[in-house]
Amino acid sequence: MRPKSPTASGHAGDRQALRADYARVRRFTEHLCEPLEAEDYGLQVAVETSPPRWHLAHVSWFFETFLLRPYLPGYQVFHAGFAHLFNSYYEQTGSGFWPRAERGLLSRPTVAEVYDYRRHVDRAMGELIADCGPADWPTVRARLLIGTNHEQQHQELLLTDIKRNLAHNPLRPAYRSDLPADPCALPGPVGIVSFDGGLVEIGAGPEGFAWDNERPRHRVFLAPFALADRPVTNGEFLAFMEDGGYDNPALWLSDGWAEVRSRGWRSPLYWEPSDAGWQVMTLGGMRALNPAEPACHLSYYEAEAFATWAGARLPTELEWEHAAATLPVQGGFVEDGWLHPRPAPEATGGLRQMFGDLWEWTGSAYLPYPGYRPPPGALGEYNGKFMCNQMVLRGGSCATSAGHIRATYRNFFYPLERWQFMGLRLARDPR
């Protein structure tokens, strides 16, 4: 099944296309859950993850809260208590929310009840899209696009959370044992692509769908810079490890070195030593480490330490966006069915693998653009209130939908987090 991107433009009356987009996204979420056993749906092994059952219900709560309750006359909520259980962090909805760390402690509602909830919401959304009056339609349409894109984000979280949960099991069970592995050879020496910099425009324009944190579009000045033509590979990161990278405090930020010592980091997340060499946990189960694949499941601290060791730095998010602005969105995405980063394609003299396969850490803190204002109401909590203490990643991953990503897309995580498909590309200043 290959989901399409939610329609991002078109006339307000294009309801049939929007309804089809909604249905495709909703079906794909459930398609991703098909390999799960009943015991997997309620599992949560870490604070940063959520049980699959919670994801299935939360995205339905989102449509119910921001579309059905305010805009479908006579709508009856499926269960009054679900607003508290499946709200993630929205303070202004008035329902409060169950603690994130305790989502896996609830045995009820059952998985069957959650799927019934989804059917209930889907039927009502069909009515709303078909019957919404012209006065409300512009707002409903805008929120519908937010809701479908929001569900695509949770599709990615479903996969990364499932991987984190299964990796905790000493049996290292596979999410899907039929996933292919890429036998590609090493992608060759890293190349360098130079950019003149200058006065450039950054951010999404006023047309089409984009998150509020991608706007407003604005001008910035960039000094000349250069980017590696591909991400750092497992083989290159292994060289960092073998050179004592995790033992040398001179390579690390203070907070990063504290995390290395307190958490006992000796390798990226999911790497495991064995008599036969390094093994790595994937959604297809345990595999031998492929040195040609991009290094992933790295924290910002590990990415920054590697860059220091390599005599380079991480690109700023502004440099990354400027470099990617005219490139086609091509790479390894969730639709391709690999669910793991693949080696970079052959060198062409330009940038490779800027989109898909793995998110790339930048050296930029997650902050508002000049002139940014969060949307009014609870939806304004979606991005704006997290603009502190987090770092920006760009490009999408093997768990991202191809139609969901764009050059202006700003992802953000805390610098110690590793369970997403996170890697790095080196940047350098002119010499």
Provide the CATH number for the domain around residue 53.
Answer: 1.20.120
pTM value > 0.75 = yes
Same domain, yes or no, for 29 and 95? yes
Q: What is the pairing mode between strands 285-288 and 359-365?
A: unpaired
Residue 391, φ and ψ in degrees, nearest 5: -120, 155
Answer whether residue 184 is part of any domain: no
Answer whether residue 2 is part of any domain: no
Residue 6 has pLDDT above 60, yes or no: no
CA 387, CA 238: separation in Å to the nearest integer?
33
CA 266, CA 305: separation in Å to the nearest integer?
13
* Encoded amino acid at 204, one letter: A
pLDDT of residue 42: 97
Answer whether residue 270 is part of any domain: yes
180-230 residue pLDDT tens: 987 777 788 999 999 999 999 999 999 999 999 999 999 999 999 999 999
pLDDT of residue 14: 87
Per-residue tokens: 388: 């502190």
Q: What is the pairing mode between strands 279-282 and 271-272?
A: antiparallel
Of the pLDDT bands very low, low, confident and very high (cuts 50, 70, 90), residue 94 is: confident
- Our count of domains for the chain comes to 2
CA 100, CA 79: separation in Å to the nearest integer?
20
Scanning the structure block, which residue is given the tokens 């984000």? 153
pLDDT of residue 65: 97
Answer whether residue 233 is part of any domain: yes
Provide the CATH number for the domain around residue 398.
Answer: 3.90.1580.10
336-389 residue pLDDT tens: 999 999 999 999 899 999 999 999 999 999 999 999 999 999 999 899 999 999
Strands (E), 232-332: 271-272, 279-282, 285-288
pLDDT of residue 187: 83
% of the chain at pLDDT higher than 90: 92
Same domain, yes or no, for 248 and 318? yes
Mean pLDDT over 63-73 rounds to 98
Same domain, yes or no, for 388 and 305? yes
**Structural domain boundaries, residue 24:** 15-167
Mean pLDDT over 152-176 rounds to 98
- What does the mean pLDDT of the chain come to? 95
Closest CA to 410 of 212, 223, 156, 209: 212
C-alpha separations of 121 from 50, 75, 76, 128, 378 in Å: 21, 10, 10, 10, 20
CA 394, CA 404: separation in Å to the nearest integer?
12
Residue 66 has pLDDT above 50, yes or no: yes
Mean pLDDT over 295-302 rounds to 98
Of the pLDDT bands very low, low, confident and very high (cuts 50, 70, 90), residue 8 is: very low
Residue 162 has pLDDT above 70, yes or no: yes
Same domain, yes or no, for 393 and 339? yes
Contact 252, 415 (CB under 8 A): no
pLDDT of residue 401: 97
Same domain, yes or no, for 270 and 158? no
Answer whether residue 342 is part of any domain: yes
pLDDT of residue 188: 84
Of the pLDDT bands very low, low, confident and very high (cuts 50, 70, 90), residue 11 is: low
Same domain, yes or no, for 77 and 142? yes
Same domain, yes or no, for 205 and 256? yes
CA angle at 125 for the pair 123 and 128, rounded to the nearest 5°: 115
